[in-house]
Amino acid sequence: MARPVSPAADLHPALLPLDWLLGSWESDEPGEGCFTTIKPFRYTESLSFSHVGQPVINFTFNAFHAETKKPMHREVGFIRMQPGTNRVAFMIAQNSGLVEIEEGELTAQQLNLQSRALARLSFAREPLVQKVSRAIRLRPDGRLEQTVSMATDNQPMTQHLHIVYRRQAAADSGKIRRDLM
């Protein structure tokens, strides 16, 4: 049974410092991925940051191979802020079987995060990811930039991904209708 349509929820006050993330984003140009154990690749990605009025932002990241357009990687999760601070946490589930908690700080319009906890499927492909760092920033030109680095069982922390996005909708597009929850 469908829920009645209601107006979009207001952004929870605890999340106001993150309002610049809200909305839909698409990569401008293909991003670049590499790691010492894989062949370099190019990818496109769409991001969505939304909320339903709770003190949490919902997000999805969907990556596609730049040439073949085949789905590659998907991340879904939530972002929370520690009230009264600039501390931020990302809770992420990946289609690869990796689950992460990344924590860090918000400085102006930049997030710098480090993995705090990782869990994975018992049959995950080796080498196993041991640490992740992520930087997301809103550039002066209004584009969003993301850099992800990782360390595995046999490789030190190394840049893995870099990509730039452009906003697809106004900031209030991050509000979703309650009937879609």
| Angle, CA 124 vertex, CA 118 and CA 128 arms, to 5° | 55
CATH class for domain 13-180? Answer: mainly beta
In the block, residue with structure tokens 């999805």: 60
What region, left, alpha or beta, does residue 43 occupy, with left being phi > 0 and alpha being psi -120 to 50 degrees?
beta
5 Cβ contact list (under 8 Å, min separation 6): 177, 178, 179
Confidence bin at 3 (pLDDT 50/70/90) = very low
* pLDDT score for 174: 42
Per residue in 155-179, pLDDT (tens digit) is: 999 999 999 999 996 544 444 333 3
Which of 141, 89, 143, 85 is closest to 115 using CA atoms? Answer: 89
The Cα 75–Cα 69 span in angstroms is: 17
pTM of the model: 0.87
The Cα 50–Cα 174 span in angstroms is: 4
- CA dihedral 88→92→78→74, nearest 10 degrees, is 130
Do 18 and 31 meet the contact criterion of CB atoms below 8 Å apart?
no
Per-residue DSSP letter, 180: G
Per residue in 69-121, pLDDT (tens digit) is: 999 999 999 999 999 999 999 999 999 999 999 999 999 999 999 999 999 99
DSSP for 83-131 reads TTSSEEEEEEEETTSEEEEEEEEEETTEEEEEEEEEEE-TTPPSSPEEE
